[in-house]
């Protein structure tokens, strides 16, 4: 009697061990796949994978900060061609002044491409960049992130800048001393 129940217990234990090891193996395999994907995603940060012959317009999302940052952003865009279109703007829904400025800017640019203006709360930059990175990570679409630090930042990156330091494809700063502190950033003159 005692022998029999001991046998049964052993076989239940064996069964459990098999399940647990199977699960461990699958989890390990998934983790390895995720890490590989993450590795390749991060390895491609800062590299352009667009075919060089295809010169198609690039749909561009422009994420505006509030207040003074709008002026900086529009100055940046003023130098860019209409190859970056359609342009989708993200503006805080309370930021009527920025909205007005964007409308005026687009009218002056006389762009034929339809534009879209999305409204959202402030501080949208990080979640939107995270969404873009997720799309790249999942292989749905390679989303390129270009981050331009505000001219206000002379001695340190902003929080958004710090978060995106290793993740943005290109990060521009506007002061040479800041570039020295963060070697992965680019300084090509003051650009706003």
Partner 1 sequence: MAGREKMVFVTVGTTKFDALVEAVSSPSIRRQLESLGFTRLVLQIGRGQYEPESFIKPNFRMDVYRFKDSIADDIKGASLIISHAGAGSVLESLGAKKPLVVVINEHLMGNHQIELAYKLYTEGHLLYCTPSELLKTLQDLDVSKLKPFPPGQPEKFAAYVDQFFGLS
Query: Count of CB atoms within 10 A of residue 149's CB?
Result: 25
Cα-based distances in Å from 169 to 25, 136, 172: 34, 12, 10
Q: Kindly report the length of the chain.
A: 192
Residue 88 or 151: the one with the smaller Cβ distance to partner 1 is 151
What residue ranges bind partner 1 (CB under 8 A)? 48, 50, 52, 55, 58, 67-68, 71, 75-81, 83, 97, 144, 146, 148, 150-156, 158, 169-170, 172, 174-175, 186, 188-192
Residue 15 or 100: the one with the smaller Cβ distance to partner 1 is 100
Minimum distance, C-beta of residue 62 to partner 1, in the bound complex (Å): 13
Minimum distance, C-beta of residue 42 to partner 1, in the bound complex (Å): 18
The span from the CA of 25 to the CA of 36, in Å, is 16
Query: Count of CB atoms within 10 A of residue 169's CB?
Result: 17
Minimum distance, C-beta of residue 83 to partner 1, in the bound complex (Å): 5
Minimum distance, C-beta of residue 131 to partner 1, in the bound complex (Å): 21
The span from the CA of 148 to the CA of 143, in Å, is 16
């Amino acid at each position: 009697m005692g022998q029999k129940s001991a046998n049964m217990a052993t076989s239940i234990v064996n069964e459990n061990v098999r399940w647990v090891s199977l699960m461990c193996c699958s989890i390990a395999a998934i983790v390895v796949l995720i890490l590989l994907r993450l590795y390749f995603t991060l390895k491609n940060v800062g590299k352009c994978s667009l075919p060089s012959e295809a010169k198609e317009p690039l749909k561009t999302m422009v994420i505006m900060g509030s207040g003074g940052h709008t002026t900086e952003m529009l100055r940046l865009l003023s130098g860019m061609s209409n190859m970056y279109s359609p342009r989708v703007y993200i503006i805080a829904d309370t930021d009527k002044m920025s909205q007005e400025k964007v409308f005026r800017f687009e009218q002056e640019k006389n762009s034929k491409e339809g534009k879209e203006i999305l409204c959202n709360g402030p501080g949208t930059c990080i979640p939107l960049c995270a969404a873009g990175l997720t799309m790249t990570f999942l292989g749905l679409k390679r989303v390129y992130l270009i981050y331009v630090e505000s001219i206000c930042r002379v001695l340190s990156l902003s929080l958004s800048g710090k978060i995106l330091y290793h993740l943005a494809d290109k990060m521009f700063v506007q002061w040479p001393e800041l570039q020295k502190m963060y070697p992965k950033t680019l300084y090509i003159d003051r650009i706003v």
